[in-house]
Structure 1
């Protein structure tokens, strides 16, 4: 497991795992954490040993949100570095070519909730709580992609009030996709990741891209785009071999 200043990183069985690692701050978000996140994610874009990425904290907490100490900038250069770090950190997640899974527990607030929202899939422990309390300081949260996930009405409730909700309510409004059993958050997230990794990296990347791009297309454009992707994967030798193996397996069963 590689250790950075504020995160841990590991690749195993097609799953790249990033662990937020600021236990003394409950993984509050700093300039360095966003920079470390990008430093880990960027090379995994082109690494075929990584099919899917899991971002996690612990079974007790994900991230308490913004580290308020970060706001005490000594210089304008420090302030600009923070702006760049957050901009490119969230952008990396928004445009990431491989699926990302947030495994969240306990406090998942502010920028920590944003990180979860920018991931493709969100799995929660029963003890998780979500919200954007930074609005009470006068700071703005990301309303998008939040409103695409929960709808505009629920996004308004969360971002205009700064209210906090529990895991059951988050599941009800669609903010999270699944609540894991107590003590099995990481096992559940890794199980989903393993299902994804068991397919083909090229297909995973194309599906992720289609899900992201087709949203803004008209139905006909989305259909043509999807068919092009379907056609192109047939040229992948690994996928062709999988199809041949499956056909042979079915043939053996039929002859049994």
Structure 2
């Protein structure tokens, strides 16, 4: 039985959809489920998909984190080995060439919240609840929580959320700047697909290079950032889509991008 499923969405089937499907455990990820997410992301990375959506198969819980029942009784070596797989899963999500959107309804806690933080965008319903409660269990976020949350919200807010381990409801998350779009449970997928299609309508290589440049430029010094930005710009210029975009503008028509 697979706990992660894959669909193609959008007008031209250019959106890859990852569906977490372990509702009986609030999508808590086991070793098997983490491996499925990792392998599916690797497949999508190699595909012609132009955007990725990750969501739960049911309302009430996006993902409650790692399955602590599976982890209970693990040896230290087994725990570390499993966490290496989890790290690979988180890193693969963050490093996807395509923009990745988390559509969150219900609880996104611990590693589940870190799945969300490793995505590029967050669209949430008013029923979404976020939290990094690791400190209440004697551990700390291990999938990028301490590194990524402060890139989304002010540092003092990130410290509040992480050091208290408290639950953050959707309204507070939006006010703090975490969420790209707050919507209803009934409209979340329609809104998420529409959001994705605004990007899939653009030249895919240009979108991918912009994403990569933004991610890399965020944390490097000014001189290195300036050089790296031009490197990505030159990659983008050297594409057929750039020529098509200019021709379409001159001819007053919609461009037909091919990803080359």
Structure 2 residue aligned with 1:6: 3
Q: TM-score, normalised by structure 1?
A: 0.89
Query: C-alpha offsets along residues 74-97 of structure 1, whole Å, 9 cap, x if unaligned?
Result: 666643442222111111122222
Are 1:65 and 2:62 counterparts?
no
Cα distance, 1:65 vs. partner? 2.2
1:175 and 1:205 map into 2 onto residues whose CA distance is: 22
Helix, strand or coil for the counterpart of 1:19? strand
Structure 1 residue aligned with 2:44: 44
Where do 1:45-194 residues align within 5 Å?
45-47=45-47, 49-57=48-56, 58-73=58-73, 78-141=78-141, 142-194=145-197
Structure 1 residue aligned with 2:236: 233
- Match for 2:249 among 238, 246, 250? 246
Cα distance, 1:228 vs. partner? 3.0
Structure 2 residue aligned with 1:33: 33
Aligned length: 246
Cα distance, 1:172 vs. partner? 0.9
1:74 and 1:134 map into 2 onto residues whose CA distance is: 18
What is the aligned-residue RMSD (CA, Å)?
1.8
1:229 and 1:45 map into 2 onto residues whose CA distance is: 19
Cα distance, 1:61 vs. partner? 2.1
Runs of 4 or more, structure 1, over 6 Å off, are none
Query: C-alpha offsets along residues 190-226 of structure 1, whole Å, 9 cap, x if unaligned?
Result: 1111111111221111011011011122334323322
Query: C-alpha offsets along residues 89-147 of structure 1, whole Å, 9 cap, x if unaligned?
Result: 11112222221111001111111111111111001001111111222111201201111
Helix, strand or coil for the counterpart of 1:32? helix
Residues 170, 176 of structure 1: 8 Å contact kept? yes
Alignment gaps of 5+ in structure 1 = 251-256
Query: C-alpha offsets along residues 152-211 of structure 1, whole Å, 9 cap, x if unaligned?
Result: 211110111011111010011112211013411111111111111111221111011011
Helix, strand or coil for the counterpart of 1:174? coil
2:79 and 2:168 map into 1 onto residues whose CA distance is: 31
1:85 and 1:139 map into 2 onto residues whose CA distance is: 18
Q: Which moved more, 1:200-209 or 1:80-89?
A: 80-89
Residues 105, 185 of structure 2: 8 Å contact kept? no
Alignment gaps of 5+ in structure 2 = 254-260
Residues 73, 79 of structure 1: 8 Å contact kept? no
